[in-house]
Amino acid sequence: MNLTVIDHPLTRHYLTVLRNKDTSPQAFRAAARGLTYTLVLEATKRLPLRTFEIETPMETTTGYAVDNVVAVPVLRAGLGMLDAVLETIPDVKVGFAGVARDEETAQPQEYYAKLPDLSNAFVLICEPMLATGGSLSWAVDKVKGSGATAITCLCVVTAPEGVKRMYEDHPDVQIIAAAFDRELNDDFYIVPGLGDMGDRLFGTL
């Protein structure tokens, strides 16, 4: 299984705020940020470190640095996770992946992509709602097309259908999430879920 569900009190607290239908967009954005910090800590546990010598005021010792992390929020809901990533990861670069679902074919349609060279990067894709898996699988294809080989996805809520699709399409990719929910409904929303993440973040309900 390439899915890790975080079991941390802060993750559960913030997820509850996100799930609550009465949470305002401002409080929703704050909770998305708080929850994402907890996902980032887990996702970056195995980041490679560069070692080098530094001078403390007392003597020489070994220093460590995190290099070459690239975050890729999937537009638009992934933007709700970006601030926490920017505040936590040193010198993180950001690429963007914009995808919409074609209403007739239900297939992902790219409308924007801007990615740096990802050959030596540790890539963190931010896609809060892993529902059918179509958008995330497309985003992983995109980053692999730019050379990425070390890819982790940060999700808020996942559904069995999306996790299965990701395992079939990209078994090499890790998924770190706050929840693994029951199922998708007939409109492809996750239940119990939290509704439309983009609408709730940006107040466009």
State yes or no: residue 162 binds ligand URA (CB under 6 A).
Answer: no
Contact call for residues 143 and 115 (beta carbons, < 8 A): yes
Residue 82 as a binder of ligand URA (CB under 6 A): the answer is no
CB-nearer residue toward ligand URA: 32 or 77: 77
Any contact of residue 155 with ligand URA (CB under 6 A)? no
Which residue among 99, 143, 166, 197 contacts ligand URA (CB under 6 A)?
197
Name the one residue in this structure whose structure tokens are 């996790």: 163
Residue type, 195: G
Distance CA 89, CA 71 (A): 9
Nearer to ligand URA, 25 or 198 (CB): 198
Could you give the C-alpha distances from 141 to 26, 59, 138, 165, 193, in angstroms and in order? Answer: 33, 47, 5, 13, 26
Q: Is 202 in the site for ligand URA (CB under 6 A)?
A: no
DSSP secondary-structure letter at 56? -
Considering the complex, what minimum distance in angstroms separates the CB of residue 131 from ligand URA?
A: 4
**CA atoms of 125 and 154, how far apart (whole Å):** 6
Binding mask 128-147 for ligand URA (x = CB under 6 A): -x-x----------------
Cβ closest to ligand URA, residue 119 vs residue 185: 185
The three-class DSSP label of residue 15 is: helix
- Specify the residue, 167 or 189, whose C-beta has the smaller distance to ligand URA: 189
Least distance CB 34 / ligand URA (angstroms)? 19
Mapping DSSP to helix (H, G, I), strand (E, B) and coil, where does residue 191 land? strand
If one asks whether residue 179 binds ligand URA (CB under 6 A), the answer comes out as no
At a CB cut-off of 8 Å and minimum separation 6, what does 48 contact? Answer: 122
Tell me which of 134, 193, 201, 202 binds ligand URA, using CB under 6 A: 193
